Amino acid sequence: LQTEKQERDQQDLTAKVEDLSMTIKELAEAIDSLKTQIAEMQVQLKRAGEDREKENKEFQGTVSDQRETQVLLKKALVVLQDFYNKKLFLQVRQEPAGPPPPAGFEGYKKNAGSSGVVSLLEQIIADSKAMEADAIRSEEDAQKAYEDLVKESNASVEAKSKDIINKSEEKAKKEGDLIEAKEAKEGVLLELEQLSNFNAELHKSCDFVLKNFDLRQT
């Protein structure tokens, strides 16, 4: 009966050792996977930061160029408007008296040369302002997307880091349990060996007694 109990204990401990070994292996793989994921996120975050820095530099250049363009064009517009106003003033003074032109014709004629150039400059200034506004909106969107990425990545890294700590603690406990289970198994195997030796000695003694008993009977 003692031998049967020890054999059952051995089977239970063997199964426990195998189960603990498998659990420890799975935990180690999960920890390695989490560490890999964290490393990949950190690399992606670094690249995103470099890209964001490059985009921001391009944005600063675009806005600076457009604002400089607007300043120069506005100065040119003022000069042109002043020039055409003076030219118009001189034309009015030099024109001979005569019958008045048809309604609207005179104003169109006097402004025909200036309106095209002035309108073109005004349109270019408006386009430049629109380009600046688009660049600002794009920059704001890109910056928000980057900040959201950083926030989400940091939260994910923090969660995975906590998971690594928890799994590492669980793994350490399982490793302790595994050591105990192996020691217990070795103890049971030793007891089984001792029982086996005892049974063998007992069997020899019984054989010796039976043999001597048979000799006495003859």
Q: What is the mean pLDDT of residues 122-129?
A: 93
Residue 146 has pLDDT above 90, yes or no: yes
Residue 197 has pLDDT above 70, yes or no: no
Q: How far apart are CA 136 and CA 21, in angstroms?
A: 58
pLDDT tens per residue across span 66-95: 999 999 999 998 888 887 766 655 554 554
pLDDT tens per residue across span 12-64: 888 899 999 999 999 999 999 999 999 999 999 999 999 999 999 999 999 99
Residue of 64, 29, 25, 57 lying closest to 178 (CA atoms) = 25
pLDDT at residue number 200: 59
